[in-house]
Structure 1
Amino acid sequence: MKALVYEGPRKVVVKEMPDARIERPTDVLVKITTTNICGSDLHMYEGRTNMETGRILGHENLGVVTEVGNGVERIKVGDRVCLPFNIGCGFCKNCERGLTGFCLTANPGMAGAAYGFAGMGPYSGGQAEYLRVPFADFNCLVLPPDAEEKENDYVMLSDIFPTGYHATVLAGVEPGDSVVIYGAGPVGLMAALSASIKGASKVMVVDSHPDRLKLAEKMGAIPVDDSDGSSADQILEMTGGEGADRGCECVGYQCSCKGHEVPNLTMNNLIKAVRPTGGIGVVGVFVAEDPKAEDKLAKKGQLALDFGQLWMKGQHIATGQANVKAYNRKLRDLIAAGKASPSQIISHELPLDKAPEGYQHFDERDEGWTKVVLKPAA
């Protein structure tokens, strides 16, 4: 099968790889019809993780079931399914509590597994023609009859829509709240959509890329340009000096300012911009170690956090990757009912052969490259 393979920093190639196949009775095989490039794929693409060469990338996947293991009961050949990026077993302590992003079984030695991702198990990614899906009865989200028509909406259920929603849950967003979101990338835009769905009275999205801020405004948010570093002060002014009720961090450890990485920038801005006793939800990726970081603390996965201000303001911070299965059914039903259209952020659809080009443009933050979806069958 054709697949996109990581061969080193900023080098990915589409090549023939061994076909994905059923390996255990609880597996299914899925023919991938849409798979996305995610911002967290760029961490690996840039060589900022311990991703092994020869691995197939891709954790935002949707397709049609073509084969089922003899231990699979619920999923049938022909089902159109979306796969959560995090792989859960369904029966460990964390999965039973709905914390499927921290499965204790799928990746022995670490809480959490994912497709085509550094440090999250041996599972191949779905930027390929076929994908093996383990624990399929648990992990496959079966899509409704309009699945093909709304495929670009439903594929967002694999990661960024639930992750954006998760940011609002971690922050504690409730109807009537004012919300500030740092990052107008795909996850930040999905957090803005989610905050609106949850009834936020004011949604402010901070970034320094004009094209992304325009898209945030088109989605009904207030764009906040942080090119001059004044975003926290702007948020305070917009909220009468009190600060936003809730804040979402959707950037992560590679946050940059004027061409230089400043890993603690968004977190300290949020502490300043969120009101006393407000909540902050962090879904941007932060890693335990980053040897190639410019900052000495960041090399060890540490931040210079304004903890005194955080403590004095009585704020709370919640963190971690989204437990996709906690949200994907309800978000699926919003799409089916026409209440949500996450595909509005897609800027480019490419065949799988053009994936290296997509990675390059997305990594360079070229204007207009907001969200890239790949079509292996094209």
Structure 2
Amino acid sequence: MKAVVYEGPRKVSVKDVPDARIERPTDVLVQITTTNICGSDLHMYEGRTDFETGRWFGHENLGRVIEVGAGVDKVRVGDYVVLPFNVACGHCKNCERGLTNYCLTAQPKAEWAGAAYGFADMGPWAGGQAELLRVPWGDFNCLRLGEDAEERQTDYVMLADIFPTGYHATELANVKPGDQTVIYGAGPVGCMAAYSAVLKGASKVMVVDRHPDRLKKAEEIGAIPIDDSLVDPVQAVMEMTMGLGADNGCECVGYQAHDPQGDEHPNLTLNNLVKSVRFTGEIGVVGVFIPQDPGGPDELARQGAVAFDFGEFWFRGQKLGSGQCPVKKYNRALRDLIAGGKATPSWIVSHELSLDQAPEGYQHFDNREQGWTKVVLHPDGATAGV
């Protein structure tokens, strides 16, 4: 089968690799028809993690089941399914509590928790930017889709990661109807956080970024764009909230945050959020931060630490929630919003490419080129088109 193989910093190629196959009775084999390039893939693509050369990416996956193991009871051959990026067993202590983002079984290191397809330090699981994907614990991990799955793949594939992750950011921040919410970052996850806040009934959603195409996307759903290359974002939020600050906020940028001049500051959005959110407000952090970053701009960052304004945070009596999204906690309800015509997350998609075009897609997306807001790959090529 073909897959998007990592060959070193900023270099991927499409190569033949060993076919995915059923290995255990509870496995499901999926023919991937739609898979996304995620912003968190770029951390690995840029060489900012310890992702091994020769492995392949892909944790936002959707496709058609072509084989099931003898121990699979629910999923059937022919079903269209979307897979949470979390690989989870369903029966460990964390999975039983709904914390599939921190599965203790799928992560081979006993001192760690959490696993994902095609991701650094998240277990041995192959990615889905390929023609086939082995799904372990298939009955638990597969979310079956309805009759409209084939024609609405670009909506449903967002259930693998960015739609639930954006929603998770608003859950961590406790966004409620009528709230004034600020989102830092208008990439795909930031836009999905803004979309989720709108769906929840927030009265005002402000989105901070500096890429005009991304801010325009946020504006399409009624969010208020704030270009931090033109204005002080904290001051802009204060002016829109009678000087009090937002009720809550979401961090959707992560450890590679840059200032408008292009200098990297891992703490930039965190500290701006503390100053943008009112006293006793709540903050949700879903942007990626990692324990070590050898490519960090200073020694503190290289150790995975940030200079967080904890004194200001404490003084304001704020709350902060963080971590990867437990996709299964939200994906069924969000699927039903899509099926019912209440949500259309595909509005973020800018490009649909064949699997062979993946290297070009990575390059353009990594360069943050104008108009490249979300890239979808189709391994079968049947529905690909720019």
> By the TM > 0.5 criterion, same fold?
yes
Give the CA deviation at 1:149: 1.7
Percent identity of the aligned residues? 70
**Residue number in structure 2 paired with 1:83:** 83
Deviation at 1:56, TM superposition (A): 1.1
**Deviations 1:100-144 (Å, cap 9, x if unpaired)?**
000000112220000000000001000000000000000000001
Q: SS in structure 1 opposite 2:328?
A: helix
Counterpart of 1:246 (choices 238, 245, 248) is 248
Residue aligning to 1:204: 206
Give 1:326-365 correspondences, 5 Å limit.
Answer: 326-365=329-368
Residue deviations 1:174-232, cap 9 Å, x none? 11110000000000000011001111010000001111111111111000010146001
* Equivalent residue letter for 2:133: L
Return the offset for 1:235: 0.2
| Alpha-carbon distance between aligned partners in 2 of 1:78 and 1:295, rounded to the nearest angstrom | 51
Task: Give the number of aligned pairs.
Answer: 378
* Distance (Å, rounded) in 1 between the aligned partners of 2:30 and 2:354: 18
Task: Give 2:274's aligned residue.
Answer: 271
Q: Deviations over 1:224-265 (max 9, x none)?
A: 010146001100110000000010000000001111111100
- Give the equivalent residue in structure 1 for 2:63: 63
Matched residue, 2:134? 132
1:144 lines up with 2:157 in the alignment: no
Partner residue in 2 for 1:44: 44
Q: What residue is the counterpart of 2:28 in the other structure?
A: 28
Letter paired with 1:16: D
State the one-letter code of the partner of 1:201: S
Question: SS where residue 182 of structure 2 aligns?
Answer: strand
Letter aligned with residue 242 of structure 1: L
The whole-number CA distance in structure 1 between the counterparts of 2:13 and 2:278 is 47
Match in the other structure for 1:94: 94
The residue aligned with 1:322 is 325
* Corresponding position of 2:384: none
Structure 1 partner of 2:191:
189
Q: Note the C-alpha offset of 1:296.
A: 2.0
TM-score by length of 2: 0.97
Report the equivalent of 1:299: 302
Task: Supply the AA of the counterpart residue of 2:246.
Answer: A
Corresponding residue number in structure 1 for 2:170: 168
- What is the aligned partner in structure 2 of residue 14 from structure 1? 14
Specify the alignment match of 1:122 in structure 2: 124
Match status 1:154 vs 2:151? no
Q: Could you state the TM-score of these two structures normalised by the residue count of structure 1?
A: 0.99
**Cα 1:291/1:229, change in 2 over 3 Å:** farther
- CA-based RMSD of the aligned residues comes to 0.6
User: What is the CA–CA distance in structure 1 between the aligned matches of 2:376 and 2:282, rounded to whole Å?
Assistant: 33
Q: Letter of the aligned partner of 1:96 in structure 2?
A: E
Letter in 2 for 1:299: R
SS of alignment partner, residue 125 of structure 1: coil
Q: Who is 1:374 aligned against? A: 377
For the residues of structure 2 that align with 1:177 and 1:88, how far apart are their CA atoms? 33
One-letter code aligned to 1:15: K
1:106 aligns with 2:109: no
Give the letter aligned to residue 49 of structure 1.
Answer: T
For the residues of structure 2 that align with 1:296 and 1:275, how far apart are their CA atoms? 32
The one of 215, 218, 221 equivalent to 2:220 is: 218
SS at match of 1:7: strand
Counterpart-to-counterpart distance in 1, 2:195 and 2:231: 25
Cα distance in 1, alignment partners of residues 308 and 271 from structure 2: 6
AA matched with 1:278: G
Q: Give CA deviations for 1:253-285 in whole Å, capped at 9, x if unaligned.
A: 000111111110000000000000000000000
Mark the runs of 5 or more structure 1 residues left unpaired by the alignment. none
SS at match of 2:8: coil
1:259 aligns with 2:262: yes
